[in-house]
Structure 1
Amino acid sequence: MAGPRKGPGGAEEPPPLLVKIVMAGESCVGKTSIVRRYTEPDSPPAGTPATSYLATIGIDFKVKLVMFNDTRVKLQIWDTAGQERFHTLSTSYFRGAQGFVLVYDITNLKSFQSITMWMQDIYEKAGDEVDVILLGNKCDKESERVVPKQKGEKIAWEYGIPFFETSAKDNVNIEHAFSLLTKEILEKKSCVLYDLDVVTLNESKKRTCCAF
């Protein structure tokens, strides 16, 4: 079993910062393919005969270690099932998440129309301050498009969240989307830690003053 990770000076490095991200959206929009493309970039493209992924049954998760501003971050990405019969189970995993990747399929109007429902579930289970990013997936299927890019941009603007059109098959915007979401989560964490430090410092000063 490997020991603690050592830094350049031989000192033990702190454990990576754990970030929980949840994939959300209807079934068959490509959530699993997006996760695999991001966490296993050297695997064959999704959609090839060897990697045609079945709809996720229940819950699965992948882990990816990334560096952000010299900080090691362990992304725990939960892939939830989009089928209605798994809805209660899937949304139960929303609690405690710092970020969400909400996905629709640009060739499936119903998956786009369900975004409002999924956003309500996210806000109800995880709070309205959680970071969310919206992905219009399967942009490689332009000839089958039924959801204009402008519609995705508009609903993302209404919710105040970032938006990308992506392709897990062609690896379009996958890395960029996760990097942006991670950046926003960590910046929010830094603000919270700073606020806590200020409160702790003020409380310490009060106790010191009262001691005299």
Structure 2
Amino acid sequence: MSDSEEEEVQNRTVKITVVGEPATGKSSLCSRYLGGGGGGAGTGSGGTLGAEVVAGQCAGLRPPVPLQLCDVAGNALATAMLANYLYASDVVLFVYDLTNLQSFERLQTWFVKVREIFEPEMKKPVMALFGNKSDLEHQRAVRLSVVQKFASEHLLENYKGSARTGEMVNSAFTNLVARVLGMKVRVLPTATNGKSPPPREPEVNGRVTLEPSHSLIMNRKALRRIQRKASSSVCCIQ
């Protein structure tokens, strides 16, 4: 990334607006992403009132990107204030509780309303789904096939994770910010107990690098091909 591009990123604040039904864990997701653990402003206080806006940074990108997280109350769907909360959003994240079927079914109404609000706007936000409470997978009430169909029909990015454990939270938010800014990202999993983590677990406590080079990977593949060819072509019997 050039110096001018870095300066542009540093001067750009990305607004992420989080919407969905009450008790889906929206506040907890925002709090978890900003490093405050799995509890949010609405935890233990009867839920978010109106909307709560919190400033932070997307530390997974280099340079860090300034963020504005707007946590919208679940009852805002029926108010005239929703358009104000969504104003200038770069990302709209639709959150549902995967143990609560109604919280997912209501997203259709949320999506239609959000789409109507942005219809006259030239700039449309990136929209995505987040199925929260994956730590309660054994209590799942929303079928995966239904979620995939909804995401495909409405061209939504689709994520599943847990505000309580942090699973997929950093990865989802960082990927969405990177998409807004047109960055290429790769999540590198953190080693655990001195061992390399499994390659299919990139979302937990990952580090993100921009525009990774694949030359080392290609060299290793080429080396393995050469080794296999050498071992298969040389056969000496005495």
Normalising by structure 2, what TM-score?
Answer: 0.64
Matched, 1:80 2:75: no
* Cα pair 2:31 2:38 within 8 Å, conserved: no
Q: Deviations over 1:41-69 (max 9, x none)?
A: xx34439xxx6463101111111223576
Query: Aligned equivalents of 2:104 and 2:115: distance in 1?
Result: 18
Matched, 1:165 2:160: yes
* Cα pair 1:133 1:177 within 8 Å, conserved: no
Query: Aligned equivalents of 1:22 and 1:55: distance in 2?
Result: 16
Q: By how many angstroms is 1:129 displaced?
A: 3.0
* Cα pair 2:128 2:156 within 8 Å, conserved: yes
The residue number in structure 2 matching 1:54 is 46
Rg bigger for which structure? 2
* Cα pair 1:39 1:62 within 8 Å, conserved: no
Query: Aligned equivalents of 2:9 and 2:167: distance in 1?
Result: 33
Q: Deviations over 1:139-177 (max 9, x none)?
A: 111232110222212211111121111110111110011
* Cα pair 2:53 2:71 within 8 Å, conserved: yes
* Cα pair 2:90 2:124 within 8 Å, conserved: no
Q: Which amino acid aligns with 1:74?
A: P
Unaligned runs of 5+ residues in structure 2 are 1-6, 184-238
The residue number in structure 1 matching 2:114 is 122
* Cα pair 2:9 2:181 within 8 Å, conserved: no
The residue number in structure 2 matching 1:186 is 181
The two structures, once aligned, show a CA RMSD in angstroms of: 2.7
Percent identity, aligned pairs only? 29
Q: By how many angstroms is 1:13 displaced?
A: 9.4
The residue number in structure 1 matching 2:57 is 65
Query: Aligned equivalents of 2:157 and 2:127: distance in 1?
Result: 8
What SS does structure 2 have at the residue aligned with 1:74?
Answer: strand
* Cα pair 1:24 1:100 within 8 Å, conserved: yes
Do the aligned partners of residues 117 and 16 (structure 1) sit closer, same or farther apart at CA in structure 2, a change above 3 Å counting? same
What SS does structure 1 have at the residue aligned with 2:16?
Answer: strand
Query: Aligned equivalents of 1:171 and 1:69: distance in 2?
Result: 18
* Cα pair 1:35 1:77 within 8 Å, conserved: yes
**In the comparison of the two structures, how many residue pairs are matched?**
173
Do the aligned partners of residues 53 and 167 (structure 1) sit closer, same or farther apart at CA in structure 2, a change above 3 Å counting? farther
Do the aligned partners of residues 85 and 152 (structure 1) sit closer, same or farther apart at CA in structure 2, a change above 3 Å counting? closer
Do the aligned partners of residues 142 and 20 (structure 1) sit closer, same or farther apart at CA in structure 2, a change above 3 Å counting? same
Do the aligned partners of residues 84 and 19 (structure 1) sit closer, same or farther apart at CA in structure 2, a change above 3 Å counting? closer
Query: Aligned equivalents of 2:168 and 2:53: distance in 1?
Result: 21
Normalising by structure 1, what TM-score?
Answer: 0.72
Query: Aligned equivalents of 2:166 and 2:48: distance in 1?
Result: 20
Q: By how many angstroms is 1:180 displaced?
A: 1.3
Matched, 1:25 2:1: no
Unaligned runs of 5+ residues in structure 1 are 1-11, 189-212
Do the aligned partners of residues 133 and 83 (structure 1) sit closer, same or farther apart at CA in structure 2, a change above 3 Å counting? same
Q: Which amino acid aligns with 1:174?
A: V
